[in-house]
Amino acid sequence: MITVILIALGGAIGSVARYGIGRLAQSRGFRPYLATWVINAIGSLLIGLLAGVYDHDTHKTSYLFLAVGVLGGFTTFSTYMVQIVNLARQRSYREASRYGAGTLAVGILLAALGYVVALRCLN
């Protein structure tokens, strides 16, 4: 039960952090999807680092709190999808395509980079 509570607490922390960064970015004049892109890129790098640090030992409570909770709440796939749909509805097809493909490519690359860096630093 303590693990579930820690995941929920981590999710709350990550979600509030995402909301705060999004609001800050919008107050500085950035488009909402750019804040989501940065959030998802940072989250991908960090979860890659955690995966490397824990290297298949992902049942530990600290991993579940940080990766599943905090970073699960921090990153957002659903908002990313809705923002692509909204860009397409605005007939910004090129921007929607770049954002959709770019987020996916950068996320995969940063997660892999984080994983490799963690493994190399620990060995």
Binding-site residue set: 72, 75
Tokens of 19: 């909301």
**28 CB-contact burial (10 Å; exposed 0-12 / middle 13-18 / buried 19+):** exposed
Binding site for Na(+): what residues are annotated? 72, 75
H-type alpha helices, 28-123: 32-54, 61-63, 72-74, 77-89, 93-122
Maximum CA extent, the chain? 49
Query: What end-to-end distance do the CA atoms of the chain give, in Å?
Result: 34
